[in-house]
Structure 1
Amino acid sequence: MIPAVSALPSDLRAADAIISLPCLKRLTLLDKLSRLLDLWSHLSIPPNTAIQLGVDYISSPSFSDSHVNEQRSSVFPALLDHLERSDLSDATALYFKMDKARRKMSCVLYKRNPGVTLGERSRLLLHGDSSTDSVFVGVHFYKCAWGRNSTLERTITSVPASTFAKIDTLQLDDIPNLNLVYLLERLPRLNTLVLNGIDRDRLMALSPFACFPHSPQSIISPVLAHLYLTGVHLCDPSKHSTLPCARDILELLSSRKGVGQPLHSITFERSALNMTTSELASFNACMKKLVHTVRFLNPKA
């Protein structure tokens, strides 16, 4: 447990008033939000120190522990100085995950390891390949529930725009009620997108003109090339459902190709496509007219 200390006012954060750790490579802090921020105000660490924060950490949470905390959006502003002093040129991957069983929301920024190319790490987040990327800043909100004035979008807004400037890879795992367009608009260099468990509305957020109502001249994710859909369940198009169907996939691919922003590849992993062999062959043939590469990995029955 972090000892109770009073937050240090910004005007008192002179070198002699700070706990200096000039050789620190990694820092992990687990405690209540207030204690984390209070201690953080006393620390002076190197700009490229990797940070993991467990906000409101609890070892064995239950559903009843979940609560709305409007102060969650204060975490990233508190890290602003560290982020601004860091070399973010290799901070190119972003990961959001909601662990429903543990009531934990994770927001993780990865740095690409030296010498690794985009092609070599295009599926990094999906398989957790630490040989290509390393965690730079990981913020994990325990006992997490979002409310009207405490949303993931508001937390994202609190992250400095410069932090997102080089992001080319994004993975979203089971994030409920996220306005995907809101996030994608902040990632102009996004090349690879991994979506785990999506509905029709979230899929349509990848339509090139998803941001048309407020930005008619903008194309969403203009350099998006690789789309990974994991754990997808395609529905029968004749039934009313929030799940996407094959037609939705084809319309998305067609719309992006139609504006000169086609995807290079689409991959279905651990997905239930609910098609006969002939239907799958037809679906595959239609997609190959719209993208260069189509892959089906570990399909579900």
Structure 2
Amino acid sequence: MALGSTAAGRRGAPDFIANLAIRGIIGLALAVPYRARVPMAGWIVSRIVAPVAGYSKRVRENLAYVLPDLPASEVERLVRAVPDNAGRTLIEIYSGRGFTDRFKHAPLTGDGVAALREAHKAGRPVVLVTGHFGNYDAPRAALIAAGFNVGALYREMNNGFFNPHYVAAISKIGEPVFPRGRKGLSGLIKFLRGGGMAGFLMDQYMGDGADLDFFGKPAPTALSAAELALKYDALVVPVYGVRQPNGLDFEVICEAPIPHTDPVQMTQALNDSLEALVRQHMEQWFWIHRRWKPERAAERQSTRAAAKMGPDAPS
């Protein structure tokens, strides 16, 4: 579930073994009917994978960093609930029609729905922005089912053995999909300029991103979605798939478009939008990500201060 950074990915022995283990879990789950498959995958990731892979520790560390006053009972709930949601999301993505069929008659809600329909009718490009929340592919599946032309930019897996079948799985939900990088970005821009709707995930640590606020802490964030929107006059709409109490269905929320200003202000507004929703559904965000990397904050500040002072600054 952690997204990687290179086209080839790592292909060492540990990666091969990890891929076999994940494929085994996926294969086992896919043999079970959908209504039992999804909670089963959540249980496996929460109770077996998370403690071994260090996910439980990561959830605790992230919560301690941004929400140090959170009650211990709530922390322990989230240590179990966050990996459960992640496991459900993974198997849903691999379930193909079992997943997408749930959106055939699903309503789209929120102030952005009318704006999306108007943009679609006018052939205006749309940048859809979401995070690793609920199921991040639910909005794409729902919008495709509603007749919209939706593509997505994805970041390739670290594990080179896992990446090909992951891409095949997300492609079954809908195409086109574009890998992050020069070639993928070129295809995405062409798709946007043709009046398409392109989906972006914007809640991962980006070393060359802007230090924007997320849960009151600096969170390096890519500005690319806002920059593309400004360049190609695309509508910017935050979209989310909120998992419902039955654990299987989703409410797909399309929020009001983000006004065009500048990339930093627009991206901060997107961070604020996601944070507000996460605070309502804490267990549905991927607290497993190293979103902040506080150990790098001092180094980033020092580097940027030196850059502002210029080459003639005293050493």
Higher relative contact order (CA 8 A, sep 6+): 2
Give me the TM-score of the superposition, normalised by structure 1.
Answer: 0.30
Structure in which a larger fraction of residues adopt helix: 2
Structure in which a larger fraction of residues adopt strand: 1
Give me the TM-score of the superposition, normalised by structure 2.
Answer: 0.29
